[in-house]
Amino acid sequence: MDEIEELLRADLWELGRRAFAIRAKLYGDVTTFISNMILNYTNVCVVGCSFCAFYRPPRHPEVYTYSVEEAVRRVLEVDARYGIRQVLVQGGVNPEIGIEYFEELFRRIKERAPHIAIHALSPLEVDYLSRRERMSYREVLERLKEAGMESMPGGGGEILVDEVRRLIAPRKIDAETWLRIMEEAHRLGIPSSATMMYGHVESLRDVALHMRKIAELQAKTGGFMAFIAWNFEPGTSELGKKIPYPKTSATLLRMVAVARIVFRDLIPHIQTGWLTTGPETAQLAMYFGADDFGGTLYEEKVLEWKRAEAPIDRREDVAKLIKSAGFRPAERDNLYRIIPGEEYRKT
């Protein structure tokens, strides 16, 4: 861990040089992306993280929950308009929603649009379902996989240090539980992303410990497909009142570069999400080790105000951003496999 912390304190340009050399050796000038939508199926949540401006407590006048029919309709409409390869299903911890909701939702999506991969739920939501249904994590994950869930996002990871988690999200699962659920998913053949939300109350040592824990689990399971670091965005959240300004773009570049170096032989892909720090920083991040640009994020609501600021509406917009930064865009699928013929002709 001391070595990771030293990297986090190292000269930014030297980090970039090392990370870009690794990226170029692995992927040349290709940067992948995916056409996807975000299905925020509910904003009701009883966890109440201080950094989240999206959630509403039960019975709040602004709460919503999509019925299965409405959720499927939205997915099919976005697919008909844009053509998508993935739907990311995520929302709040809503006490009114049980595992049958997700089983029906996943099955209906796969019946109507089998080409759309279901990238769904976080360890937090799996833990909630486990307790609600009185099932083991394995049983919950087996049922969700059987219904059509193909991979898991890394939501709820934040910083995998309990002292930090108690400050920003005291009712959220602890670091060990997050890691245990991810390990169970990987053992069942459900790959996932690993994430990190920085820029709030964490120290560089906390970031180093987070990366070490991710690396240790990956060495055991090999189930993480990508690592994604994103910046805390204050917005109108409770935590934003105490930390009103986000970290600069340079911090994201540092995190991306260190991740590429640390995870060089472990996690194949480093993603540069454009949503929190903007598309220009995401372009720069490709020179600091990132090889994936994320996706189109149709319908995303958690950071909707940030999405509205970015000139990205279609897959062609993503491809143009990648190409204008000097890289070759290639559309991928849910498992980071390049789609044949999609290196990328529609620019």
Q: Which helix (H) or strand (E) holds 5?
A: helix 2-9
Distance CA 144, CA 126 (A): 10
232: its two tokens? 């805390």
- Count how many Cα atoms sit within 13 Å of the Cα of residue 283 in the half-sphere of its side chain: 16
8-state DSSP, 85: S
- Count how many Cα atoms sit within 13 Å of the Cα of residue 13 in the half-sphere of its side chain: 0
- Among 116, 87, 154, which residue's Cα sits nearest to residue 296? 87
For residues 249, 251, 255, 260, the Cα torsion angle rounded to the nearest 10 degrees is 60
Is 158 among the annotated ligand-binding positions? yes
β-strand partners of 36:
86
Distance CA 124, CA 94 (A): 11
Is 51 among the annotated ligand-binding positions? yes
Distance CA 13, CA 178 (A): 33
Is 203 among the annotated ligand-binding positions? no
Distance CA 267, CA 286 (A): 16
β-strand partners of 198:
231
Is 52 among the annotated ligand-binding positions? yes
Is 122 among the annotated ligand-binding positions? yes
β-strand partners of 271:
228, 292
Distance CA 123, CA 113 (A): 26
Report the alpha-carbon angle 285-229-318, nearest 5: 50
For residues 161, 164, 166, 167, the Cα torsion angle rounded to the nearest 10 degrees is -170
46: its two tokens? 């009883």
Give the number of other CB atoms < 10 A from CB of residue 36: 25
> Between 99-112 and 137-147, two packed helices, what is the crossing angle to 10 degrees?
20
List the binding residues for S-adenosyl-L-methionine.
51, 158
Binding-site residues for [4Fe-4S] cluster, in ranges, read 45, 49, 52
- Indicate the annotated binding residues for (3R)-3-methyl-D-ornithine: 122
What are the binding residues? 45, 49, 51-52, 122, 158
